[in-house]
Structure 1
């Protein structure tokens, strides 16, 4: 395993989920500020630190290799320290960020519980990770002088999309032979299309494409790299749509 692989999480789909809602909130804010850049750094560092801490807990409880958990200690400490260097000044300058962190804490507890029991692929675990990530749109918006009440529609659109990626990706990889999962994924995306169109008729365009993707892609069984590339394009389309619509 290379040094990069030891330090950076291999959950490639998570990076889009971390970035798109935050960037949407940043660019939708009336007064973008450098504080948002600092918060974005803290957000990414906190994710990586939590990832390594959870992997340490998972492997310590479930691995037969006594050294497996140990390789996550230094990354967790390093990224945790870097997170603190950015987070503490932010919390001092904007104490309301502590309330936002408290709101995210139950979701972190859910993902930690699943990691400890080696059930990170569980549907609930994936959905628990999506909610705080999409909530960061509201946090970034407020930090840039916006009213979070004005951000609920783009935040909900993010939740609709990234929530749908959880069952969809399962139909492409681990549950690719499950007709029940495929039907559930298609049903979810159809409902998401209806809600997105209610939020804004223009959102029916990307969400219509997401529905088509959910219907057709599992039948074609493309390679994992192709699945990832499609999701990169889909995430970029969501960000573009949010900035144009809202």
Structure 2
């Protein structure tokens, strides 16, 4: 391959990566509750694939819109690079999501329930406080609520879908303070104590939902107590969290 062609190809790859958020923890939070709800539903079908695509497209569109808002509020020209992805992904979300909303009008109501949490995230993005604890917790709620949406689309009612949704909420809410103890708040004893205390309470709450959940949540508590302060690199921290999320996804069908 000629050098110029190779350089052009590398440039296109790098540009494409700018369109896809590199928030690895967010992708797990988006996927695990949705997939769990799909697996638990008695009638999974093609609509789940379309809804999953709309869900991911909507996330990427909102991500770029919030990044544009954050940078534009500071008068930075770099905000422009987020405008086109926000429009493109927003249009793709509409193409995927609107037909589903017509077939299943209750999905529009579910989207409205998520709106206040998106508003909180947008507020923090505009203020440049995306790493705030409240912002992270606000993002967790609608992501875990998607378990009930996916389950409902497959015929599983709220009476049976809320316990696994709460289990997801207990885990992903705990990742917010835990990851801070591993990276940005690695030297904070207060954050570390708070994270361990939360995980102990989450273990008790999860075990009350199902004894099966005591297995992964005991591991979550152990990692919250043992790993901070050990100097693990960010990729290692991320890999451990992916394994923890996978363990939750594997346990939920047995628990519920």
Shorter-chain TM-score range: over 0.9
Q: Give the equivalent residue in structure 2 for 1:222.
A: 232
Supply the distance in 1 between the matched residues of 2:250 and 2:68 (Cα, whole angstroms): 37
Aligned pair partner of 1:113 in 123, 127, 130: 123
Instruction: Check if 1:210 corresponds to 2:216.
Output: no
| Structure 1 contact 7–75 (Cα < 8 Å) conserved | yes
Q: Give the equivalent residue in structure 2 for 1:185.
A: 195
Supply the distance in 2 between the matched residues of 1:139 and 1:115 (Cα, whole angstroms): 26
Instruction: Check if 1:197 corresponds to 2:176.
Output: no
| 1:77 CA displacement | 0.7
Aligned pair partner of 2:55 in 43, 54, 57: 43
Supply the distance in 2 between the matched residues of 1:81 and 1:48 (Cα, whole angstroms): 11
| Structure 1 contact 39–90 (Cα < 8 Å) conserved | yes
| 1:5 CA displacement | 2.6
| 1:117 CA displacement | 0.4
Q: Give the equivalent residue in structure 2 for 1:245.
A: 255
TM-score by length of 2: 0.94
Instruction: Check if 1:144 corresponds to 2:154.
Output: yes
Q: Give the equivalent residue in structure 2 for 1:95.
A: 105
Instruction: Check if 1:122 corresponds to 2:132.
Output: yes
| Structure 1 contact 62–118 (Cα < 8 Å) conserved | no
- Which moved further from structure 2: 4-13 or 137-146? 4-13
| 1:106 CA displacement | 0.2
Q: RMSD across aligned C-alpha pairs, in angstroms?
A: 0.9
Supply the distance in 2 between the matched residues of 1:175 and 1:62 (Cα, whole angstroms): 26
3-state SS of paired residue (2:43): coil
Note the alpha carbon deviations across 1:132-186, whole angstroms, 9 max, x for none.
0000000000100111210111000000000000000000000000000000000
TM-score by length of 1: 0.98
| 1:4 CA displacement | 2.8
Equivalent residues, number: 244
Supply the distance in 2 between the matched residues of 1:186 and 1:234 (Cα, whole angstroms): 16
Gaps of 5+ in 1: none
Q: Give the equivalent residue in structure 2 for 1:166.
A: 176
Q: Give the equivalent residue in structure 1 for 2:3.
A: none
